[in-house]
Structure 1
């Protein structure tokens, strides 16, 4: 143990004592959280995966995103009310263990950590595709290796640095999408004709086979990878634990989800398919880049390509941050080795960072195992979508228990979940539907069939960990304080 690391004692696997905010620092400001909330909902699934989604669903993808966005909003409102009901909650794992039991905290936290490892691998795969757009001769392993190394260095910095980095990453993504929407509107207003004779018009949304050209089957298939596009929206819940004044900033960040979905998903994809008919969009390329290139804006297409590359890096950076914080929480609860609960003098859980980053290099062999970058991306993204359903489901189930167990907290909450009696059950029914769509698709079925194996492994690991904790006379999990949080007085 170095002099700059904090731990509770020299005994192995002993949980360090509670430090203010768990040893980490509340170094992020309101502007950081707001932009992280926006950036978290604009990820690789939108920039790269939407090409394939459009190819299987056509313009119906607009309705797919509307439906998913509708339910995501309720998930986030449930999470917001839970987090603000007790500011001692740091992660979804804290909520799950408090509402459902120690086993739930173990399952949710390790599952969320693993899902972000997979998501980061998907982002690295996407970055490789973007780099090869500039130069197809670049070996696939080179950008993957460089990206994994850079991400490791970024996450060894204090949380304030992370917040500032994501702030500017998010601004780049926002400006790029808004710019694309403006360009698309201008092209439609001037009835621009592409080199192949296609005229930019809003009517392209329904004149190429209708809004549902693939029928109900195509609409249903759109939900498979569509759900992956929204992974990361819950990151605002993790970041809130290191944010100043979460009672003011968190509600603002969550309530802005609706407008973000309408602009960045519905608006952007509608413009893309209006400028370039859906049946002319290549499934293995970013439609954002292809649209500008088709319209003759070669330089703009290059700029957008750089932006989507930055977006993938931003998504991976956010995922790595979230995963390391979850691992930190697991160690605090005794559900992971205590060395992962150590922080340096700047409040960075660097051992959690190093351990998590090791798995990022799995992207390198994955690039050579399948039929190409898009095939690799589809596999890891569908696996991640399967795991995130469990995380989101834990939030909703925890909310149902919270509302029954603490009716007084719900009654006094200043940020109640709308339709709190029926919405959680509707969301859970929607998750069952999503699981069905994943089983329905040939390329996504393996991921959901593999999920029970992962949870069986977690069950075995939990029993082993539980026996050790009992043998050592330690609690099955860390306690959640019920006394007022210092920030409640602000």
Structure 2
């Protein structure tokens, strides 16, 4: 029914800024402090390597999404190329990815508010969730507008940081910790001060920094002109990575010696406080607060749409496919928000370690989803060459690059085994996949009881007819 279809109300400017907003999030504004502590200036190369890999994932996703008009999510693609079990596991894992990511964002909201007010982290986290739930219950266009302005704030902030960095570099500005200089990048122990091991251990937080870049794919079902907007958004990812990640990190490291940055704080707030503008640090803290709220808003949007699609494919309760009068999957949104509130609980119970735990789980699960996209693309090229030949948005350097990126993801997972902070989450995450395989088997048996195999039903009709004829 038309009333139960998502509306294509996202315009080109919404999709472009959603893509930018997905590329800039809590992983950069807060998580980069931890990543810099591990890798030192070599973090620049880590962002470049992972950023290039994500671009190839997105090109593969873009080609797949545009190869068939009916695709609305990863689950549709996975079902076509890997079967219903893979679709079930991937769909629920992607939902879990965004739940974990949004939990990290809601924890970050509490951290940022503590800059001004000495209150428990969970209080602003709960308030933020309630506000975002109300906004998401409105039309998808409201979500697009909110993300448009949130993303614009992030862009302006990073532009300001880079511009200020260039000016301070040219005039040789002196902060309380030293002179702003390009040599700060290598003057404190070299580019790899913690060796290759520190460089490699930073990849978990770097991967988390890029989660959400694929949100442009989730929004495809609500985009008015996906053939134009999706390729445009994806093709701009390399420039955004160079500018917003590499450019911003270089500016941070020129203004600050990397040794001066506190991994528990936002390096952006620290940097602007050194510039000497009295209100700068407070303004930037507000910006990173809106960034965390924006990322959580994206998480609520994506998790509700994932549950909607799972329900439409009989892989989740039917009530999750119900839309309100604004064509928003309200039931799915309420359930996702309820689960997200666990993030506020974690920030109350384990405020010191909550952020690290949920970001690690999020990174692991996103690696699974991105890996599935690459594998589906390999199957697409092999099994549907006629579609691939007609594609107007072919992914470059395939299939070779697919295998290279899959190998990189495998290496990152192996690296996580060697870090005390990431090992527990890595070893526990397989339990999620075991649970999903069990639930899939239960769900399949239930569906078979309700809807028997058409071939068996046809065979039964044939048999009954033969008996009557006898």
Q: Which residue number in structure 2 is paired with residue 95 of structure 1?
A: 77
C-alpha deviation, 1:19, in angstroms: 4.0
* 1:353-407 Cα shifts (integer Å, max 9, x gaps): 011110121122211333x34x211111001001111111111111111110101
C-alpha deviation, 1:30, in angstroms: 0.5
Match of 1:333 among 306, 309, 313: 313
Distance 1:19 1:427 in 2: 40
Distance 1:162 1:461 in 2: 32
C-alpha deviation, 1:474, in angstroms: 6.2
* 1:263-322 Cα shifts (integer Å, max 9, x gaps): 100000100010001011111110001011122223111111100000000001011101
SS in 2 for 1:133: coil
Distance 2:104 2:313 in 1: 29
Question: Is residue 39 of structure 1 aligned with residue 17 of structure 2?
Answer: no
Unaligned 5+ runs, structure 2: 455-470
Match of 2:106 among 95, 99, 124: 124
Q: Which residue number in structure 2 is paired with residue 316 of structure 1?
A: 296
C-alpha deviation, 1:338, in angstroms: 0.5
Match of 1:176 among 157, 160, 175: 157
* Contact persistence 1:49–1:286 (CA under 8 A): yes
Q: Which residue number in structure 2 is paired with residue 155 of structure 1?
A: 136
* Contact persistence 2:303–2:336 (CA under 8 A): yes
| TM-score of the two chains, using structure 2 as the length reference | 0.95
Question: Is residue 220 of structure 1 aligned with residue 200 of structure 2?
Answer: yes
* 1:187-211 Cα shifts (integer Å, max 9, x gaps): 1111111124x00001100111111
Q: Which residue number in structure 2 is paired with residue 388 of structure 1?
A: 366
C-alpha deviation, 1:475, in angstroms: 7.6
| TM-score of the two chains, using structure 1 as the length reference | 0.91
Q: Which residue number in structure 1 is paired with residue 355 of structure 2?
A: 377
SS in 1 for 2:242: helix
Question: Is residue 362 of structure 1 aligned with residue 342 of structure 2?
Answer: yes
* 1:241-280 Cα shifts (integer Å, max 9, x gaps): 1001110111000000000000100000100010001011
Q: Which residue number in structure 2 is paired with residue 482 of structure 1?
A: none
Q: Whose helix proportion is higher, 1 or 2?
A: 2
* Contact persistence 1:106–1:330 (CA under 8 A): yes
Residues 474 and 386 of structure 1, relative CA distance in 2, 3 Å threshold: farther
Count of matched residue positions in the alignment of Structure 1 and Structure 2: 454
C-alpha deviation, 1:331, in angstroms: 0.5
Q: Which residue number in structure 2 is paired with residue 30 of structure 1?
A: 12
Q: Which residue number in structure 2 is paired with residue 353 of structure 1?
A: 333
Q: Which residue number in structure 2 is paired with residue 107 of structure 1?
A: 89
Q: Which residue number in structure 2 is paired with residue 458 of structure 1?
A: 436
* Contact persistence 1:116–1:384 (CA under 8 A): yes
Q: Which residue number in structure 2 is paired with residue 244 of structure 1?
A: 224
* Contact persistence 2:33–2:264 (CA under 8 A): yes
Residues 344 and 365 of structure 1, relative CA distance in 2, 3 Å threshold: closer
* 1:219-245 Cα shifts (integer Å, max 9, x gaps): 101101110000000000011110011
Question: Is residue 293 of structure 1 aligned with residue 273 of structure 2?
Answer: yes
Question: Is residue 270 of structure 1 aligned with residue 250 of structure 2?
Answer: yes
Query: Rg bigger for which structure?
Result: 2
Q: Which residue number in structure 2 is paired with residue 280 of structure 1?
A: 260
Runs of 4+ in 1 over 4 A off after TM superposition: none
* Contact persistence 2:101–2:296 (CA under 8 A): yes
CA RMSD of the aligned region, Å?
1.3
SS in 1 for 2:349: coil
* Contact persistence 2:107–2:122 (CA under 8 A): no
SS in 1 for 2:348: coil
Question: Is residue 419 of structure 1 aligned with residue 410 of structure 2?
Answer: no
Unaligned 5+ runs, structure 1: 1-17, 477-490
